[in-house]
Amino acid sequence: MKEMIVEGSSVEEAVEKALKELSVGRDDVEIEVLEEGSRGFLGIIGVKSARVRVRVVDQPDVVIRSFLKEVFDKMELDVEQRIWFEDGYWRVELCGTDIRHLIGRHGETLNALQLLANLAVSKRLQERVRIILDAEGYREKREKVLRKLARRVADRVKRTKRDYTLEPMPPQERRIIHLELQDEKNVYTVSRGQEPYRRLAVCYKRDGLLKEEK
């Protein structure tokens, strides 16, 4: 977190000096007044400068972009980022000539990078930040695959009356399957285990068994 202490003839002047030096806007900083300053007697005797401490507040999108850029630079990949906030998530669309290296089998590489980004950015900001990484529309394609998978597994569970546990998935992928099967009469879904190996199980709903959802 960048910060600096600046003096001026008034608090406002000191703040403006800091903003100019840090190249940020007033909404991007926290301001602490250390000395109000004084004009003194006749503006000559007892004059005191105002002193302020100005801290730059880390914005999630800035931290996300910085973290990912560092990763891509170390991997020597040419990747561009588009970042926006939607439905409680910071969404990052990745594009570029080297994007094919960032998806992996069933999105394993993309999911691993997403997990690292969530951990690193949350630690930096000292609060939970939820990030979804996407590349070449992979998430939309993956959602269609997961919905079909959910239906196939549900049919299997109803036919065999045996629970079925899927491979580990990130939270947003488990949520897709939860939502797809939430109105099913004969099956229910539940997540088990700890991240990043948390799995979703599709279970047979026997008579009198209450639906369990997470």
pLDDT at position 68 over 50: yes
Instruction: Please calculate the CA angle 11-14-15 and round it to the nearest 5 degrees.
Output: 85
> Across the chain, what does the average pLDDT equal?
87
3-56: CATH topology: Defensin A-like (3.30.30)
Of residues 128 and 207, more confidence is placed in: 128
pLDDT at position 46 over 60: no
- Provide the pLDDT for residue 106: 81
Q: Which two tokens stand for residue 73?
A: 């630079």
With the CA atoms of 195, 199, 205 and 211 taken in that order, what torsion angle do they form, in degrees rounded to the nearest 10?
20
pLDDT at position 213 over 50: no
60-136: CATH topology: GMP Synthetase; Chain A, domain 3 (3.30.300)
The average pLDDT across 99-128 equals 90
The average pLDDT across 62-91 equals 92
- Span of 139-153, 160-174, 182-196, 200-214 with lowest mean pLDDT: 200-214
Element (H, E) at 172: helix 171-181
Single-letter code of the amino acid located at 190: V
- Which residues, listed in sequence order, are joined to residue 32 by a DSSP beta bridge? 53
Which of the four CATH numbers 3.40.50.261, 3.40.50.720, 3.40.50.300, 3.30.1370.50 does domain 140-204 have? 3.30.1370.50
Instruction: Please calculate the CA angle 141-142-144 and round it to the nearest 5 degrees.
Output: 70
pLDDT at position 195 over 90: no
Q: How many Å is the Cα radius of gyration of the chain?
A: 26
Beta strands in 36-185 (DSSP E): 50-56, 80-86, 89-95, 131-135, 164-165
